[in-house]
DNA sequence: TAGTCGTGGAG
DNA sequence: TCTCCAAGACT
């Protein structure tokens, strides 16, 4: 008997790695000579941010700050400006803080150890393993939103992934090829499968290398049963107001007074609350004479 | 653990 | 137009 779960069948991990060889996108941070530092920069930029928007900014950053020490020496204001409109600008601040930590505590060399990576500002479970795996070629389970969705369907037969769980790492590790080099390739390949084929909307199962082994399809592609995940509002939220305020300050070459920030948002209460939160986050600084500016 | 933190393209 | 959502981290 040679069913889908037959021991003689090619493991799904191997199928996914083979698929990746022909389907992978040609992304600049995937070229072999890219330094772990540049990989770290790419991973932080890619947090919650589409590839197309990251690519041009990443090219500028890696050319301008080719090592952690280069970024560490830069004033925060320049880093925030260079972040442009990638969104979640606290990431820029944390990346600079990580560069400083790498310079001071690791002799300017990005650590390859997952625990040491996770100790860096802005580097969590995902990013630490991504750097160890893609930057240093270490065998590491790497779980992002794409991987969780692939595993939810392929392994658990569910239409959508739930929240991140500790078991996610073991789930994907169980599918990885035995060979270390292929396991590294597998980590990026599963992400790519989730990004290109096993997508959040309507999955392109016709293009999937493991469609015949997918628990979700074998179960008849049942719809999502759990609670609908709520999508974040944006219009009118503090996030929008903070973005507007920062937009004004990025454009200004000199510190500005409070009046200069009024056009950013009408509601004075919300405007000042958001300005205060930006000060708290260290994204904005107040000068001695009470003017506002990006932090030096 | 659920809420917060930007931005803009796609369907 | 409006909803969804894109390689998370942090609190």
Least confident of A226-235, A258-267, A286-295: A226-235
Q: Give the pLDDT confidence of A197-213 residue by residue, as tens digits.
A: 999 999 999 999 999 99
Domain that holds residue A273: 238-293
Question: Is residue A3 over pLDDT 60?
Answer: no
> Any atom of strand B under 7 A from CB of A280?
no
For chain A, the 3-state helix, strand and coil shares in percent, each to the nearest 5, are: 55, 0, 45
Q: Are residues A256 and A171 in the same domain?
A: no
Residue nearest to nucleotide C8 (CA to C1'): A47
Split at pLDDT 50, 70, 90, the class of A5 is low
> Nearest nucleotide, C1' to the C-alpha of A29?
C7
**Same domain flag for A61 and A147:** yes
- Residue-wise pLDDT tens digits, A124-177: 999 999 999 999 999 999 999 999 999 999 999 999 998 888 899 999 999 999
Boundary-marking domain end, from A199, A227, A255: A227
Residue A4 confidence (pLDDT): 54
Whether residues A218 and A245 share a domain: the answer is no
- Strand B–CB A255 distance below 7 A: no
For every residue of A4-48, DSSP letters joined together read TT-TTSPPHHHHHHHHHHHH----GGGSTT--HHHHHHHHHHHTT
Residues A206 and A254 in one domain: no
Report pLDDT digits (tens) over A216-253. Answer: 999 999 999 888 888 899 999 999 999 999 999 999 99
Do A256 and A145 reside in the same domain of the chain?
Answer: no
- Is A43 part of the annotated catalytic residue set? yes
Domain count, chain A: 2
Distance of A1 CA from C10 C1′ (whole Å): 50
Q: Is the pLDDT of residue A7 over 80?
A: no
Q: Distance in angstroms, CA of A278 to C1' of B3?
A: 18
**Tens digit of each residue's pLDDT (9 = 90 or more) over A72-109:** 999 999 999 999 999 999 999 999 999 999 999 999 99
Residue nearest to nucleotide C10 (CA to C1'): A122
Angle between helices A268-281 and A238-251 (to 10 degrees): 70
Instruction: State the catalytic residue, choosing from A14, A43, A97, A192.
Output: A43
């Amino acid at each position: 008997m040679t069913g889908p779960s037959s021991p003689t069948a090619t493991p799904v991990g191997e199928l996914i790695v083979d698929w990746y060889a022909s389907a992978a996108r040609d992304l600049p941070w995937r070229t072999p000579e890219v330094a772990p530092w540049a990989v770290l920069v790419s991973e932080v930029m890619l947090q919650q941010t589409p590839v197309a928007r990251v690519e041009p900014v990443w090219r500028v950053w890696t050319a301008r700050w080719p090592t952690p020490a280069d970024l560490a020496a830069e004033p925060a204001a320049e880093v925030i400006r260079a972040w442009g409109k990638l969104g979640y600008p606290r990431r820029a601040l944390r990346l600079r803080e990580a560069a400083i930590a790498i310079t001071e505590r690791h002799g300017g060399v990005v650590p390859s150890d997952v625990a040491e990576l996770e100790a860096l500002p802005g580097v969590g479970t995902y990013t630490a393993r991504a750097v160890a795996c893609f930057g240093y070629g270490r065998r590491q389970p790497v779980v992002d939103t794409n991987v969780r969705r692939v595993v939810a369907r392929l392994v658990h037969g569910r239409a959508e992934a739930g929240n991140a769980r500790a078991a996610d790492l073991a789930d994907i590790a169980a599918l990885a090829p035995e060979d270390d080099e292929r396991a590294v390739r597998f980590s990026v390949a599963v992400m790519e499968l989730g990004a290109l084929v096993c997508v959040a909307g309507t999955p392109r199962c016709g293009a999937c290398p493991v469609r015949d082994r997918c628990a979700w399809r074998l179960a008849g592609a049942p719809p999502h049963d759990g609670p609908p995940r709520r999508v974040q509002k944006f219009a009118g939220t503090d996030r929008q107001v903070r973005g507007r305020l920062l937009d004004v300050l990025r454009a200004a070459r000199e510190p500005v007074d409070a009046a200069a920030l009024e056009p950013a948002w009408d509601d004075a209460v919300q405007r000042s609350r958001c300005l205060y939160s930006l000060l708290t986050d260290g994204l904005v600084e107040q000068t001695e004479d009470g003017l506002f500016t990006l932090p030096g």
